[in-house]
Copies of this chain bind each other. A is one copy, B any other.
Amino acid sequence: MTTHADDLTQRIGAPVELAGVAVRRPSKVREGIDPALITTDATALLKRGDIDIAIEVIGGIEPARTLITTAFEQGISVVSANKALLAQDGAALHAAAEAGGRDLYYEAAVAGAIPLVRPMRESLAGDKINRVMGIVNGTTNFILDKMDSTGAGYQEALDEATALGYAEADPTADVEGYDAAAKAAILAGIAFHTRVRLDDVYREGMTEVSAADFASAKRMGCTIKLLAILERAADGESVTARVHPAMIPLSHPLASVREAYNAVFVEAEAAGRLMFYGPGAGGAPTASAVLGDLVAVARNKLAEATGPGESAYTQLPVSPMGDVVTRYHISLDVADKPGVLAQVATTFAEHGVSIDTVRQQGKDGEASLVVVTHRAPDAALSGTVEALRKLDTVRGVASIMRVEGE
């Protein structure tokens, strides 16, 4: 039986040698790693002169950014899993890689082990991607799946996710959508051959999603997912990038993505509707993606070539959220008296928003009104909601949720 190092050698065409491992805590026992390879000085390791490829799995902005830049200056190619850094400074890093004539690969930065960066950068290089819609955060999908399947509230589901190790002690990056937004920025840039930075991505977390929202979703034949949605405008002249919870029909393939799995739908002009599914996080899946990149970069090195660099030639502007065309599911608490529906309907009409369905429920002088709109610009929809809040017959807006995937 061949060992794993032998497999890598066969697949690359030359042996790879682990030259050093830079860590913060050198005293920690690391099974299978020769202690002589451990150092705390990453910069010295990069400058040693005999390194071909560096793997960066530190995460965060610094010192990762400086180290990657140092690597390129030293003529070292880089495999990174750093979504935050790539979403913030991808353009500068790609430029540094190109200046050094080296590779920057980062399959592990988005959706863990799911091959996504390479298929989008390479397999679909002859096609035109119009839309990407994905579940790119396993923690929030686990929480939402729990809420859907057990009827639990957000806090209860979060507690279970934390207990099982799916959520970190501070879950902010996941539940507020920052992690998904970073991945969205990276994917949008690749999909549309343009530059999308983290700041360009509209972001809403999922901490406000309630058991009542799931009940509403079920009545519509939907479930709720935290989605990253990247779209090319109908005229092709701009793109949008956003992360928010949304209702999607149970018939949509993303609806059946359970637990902490990730899945990304890609709609391309010629290829049609593709989906990529798998574990979105975890040590072993990340290692699979990193080693896949390592093999590619090592092969490029042997061939004295580089793989595809940044492709941002379209330079399409990123439109604000207000321009995104979507649908709203709105739950209103209203006075239970005649004329309320007419007043509400007038408000929608005044904002140019057309109503798909209305459902009224009343008891004891209180009533609720659930309105699902047709497609309209987000600015018109949110303007409608603001106007509804000001109606004296509307006691409150219980929830607003976008409806996608139809």
A interface, CB within 8 angstroms of B: 1-2, 4, 7-8, 10-11, 107, 113-115, 118-119, 122-128, 193, 236-237, 253, 256, 268-279, 282, 284-285, 287-296, 299-300, 303-306, 308, 311, 313-314
User: What would 13 A/B residue contacts be, using CB atoms closer than 8 Å?
Assistant: A114-B271, A115-B115, A122-B292, A122-B296, A123-B289, A125-B291, A126-B293, A127-B288, A270-B287, A270-B288, A271-B288, A272-B278, A299-B308
Bound state CA distance, A231 and B276, in angstroms? 21
Tell me whether B125 and A107 are in contact (CB under 8 A): no
A11 / chain B contacts, CB cutoff of 8 Å: 125-126, 193, 308, 311
Shortest Cβ distance from A281 into chain B, in angstroms?
A: 11
Task: Pick the residue among B126, B128, B274 that contacts A277 (CB under 8 A).
Answer: B274
Q: Specify the chain B residue showing the minimal Cβ separation from A107.
A: B123
Known contacts A193-B11, A270-B284, A285-B272; A291 and B236 CB within 8 A of each other? no
Interface of A, secondary structure class, is: mixed
Shortest Cβ distance from A56 into chain B, in angstroms?
A: 16
Tell me whether A300 and B290 are in contact (CB under 8 A): no
Bound state CA distance, A278 and B253, in angstroms? 11
Shortest Cβ distance from A155 into chain B, in angstroms?
A: 29
Task: Pick the residue among B113, B290, B305 that contacts A274 (CB under 8 A).
Answer: B113
Known contacts A119-B115, A123-B107, A193-B11; A270 and B256 CB within 8 A of each other? no
A236 / chain B contacts, CB cutoff of 8 Å: 1
Bound state CA distance, A236 and B118, in angstroms? 28
A122 / chain B contacts, CB cutoff of 8 Å: 118, 122, 292, 295-296
Tell me whether A285 and B305 are in contact (CB under 8 A): no
Bound state CA distance, A10 and B358, in angstroms? 49
A311 / chain B contacts, CB cutoff of 8 Å: 10-11
Bound state CA distance, A279 and B271, in angstroms? 7
Task: Pick the residue among B113, B193, B306 that contacts A272 (CB under 8 A).
Answer: B113
Q: Specify the chain B residue showing the minimal Cβ separation from A235.
A: B1
Shortest Cβ distance from A282 into chain B, in angstroms?
A: 8
Of listed A4, A288, A308, residue having the most chain B CB within 10 A: A288
Shortest Cβ distance from A38 into chain B, in angstroms?
A: 22
Tell me whether A291 and B126 are in contact (CB under 8 A): yes
A237 / chain B contacts, CB cutoff of 8 Å: 1
Shortest Cβ distance from A202 into chain B, in angstroms?
A: 25
A125 / chain B contacts, CB cutoff of 8 Å: 11, 291-292, 295-296
A284 / chain B contacts, CB cutoff of 8 Å: 269-272
Shortest Cβ distance from A283 into chain B, in angstroms?
A: 9
Tell me whether A268 and B288 are in contact (CB under 8 A): yes
Tell me whether A285 and B306 are in contact (CB under 8 A): no
Q: Specify the chain B residue showing the minimal Cβ separation from A304.
A: B305
Tell me whether A278 and B289 are in contact (CB under 8 A): no
Tell me whether A271 and B289 are in contact (CB under 8 A): yes
Of listed A124, A127, A237, A303, residue having the most chain B CB within 10 A: A127
Bound state CA distance, A311 and B12, in angstroms? 10
A123 / chain B contacts, CB cutoff of 8 Å: 107, 115, 118-119, 289, 292
Bound state CA distance, A7 and B11, in angstroms? 32
Tell me whether B294 and A113 are in contact (CB under 8 A): no
Q: Specify the chain B residue showing the minimal Cβ separation from A291.
A: B126
A10 / chain B contacts, CB cutoff of 8 Å: 193, 311, 313
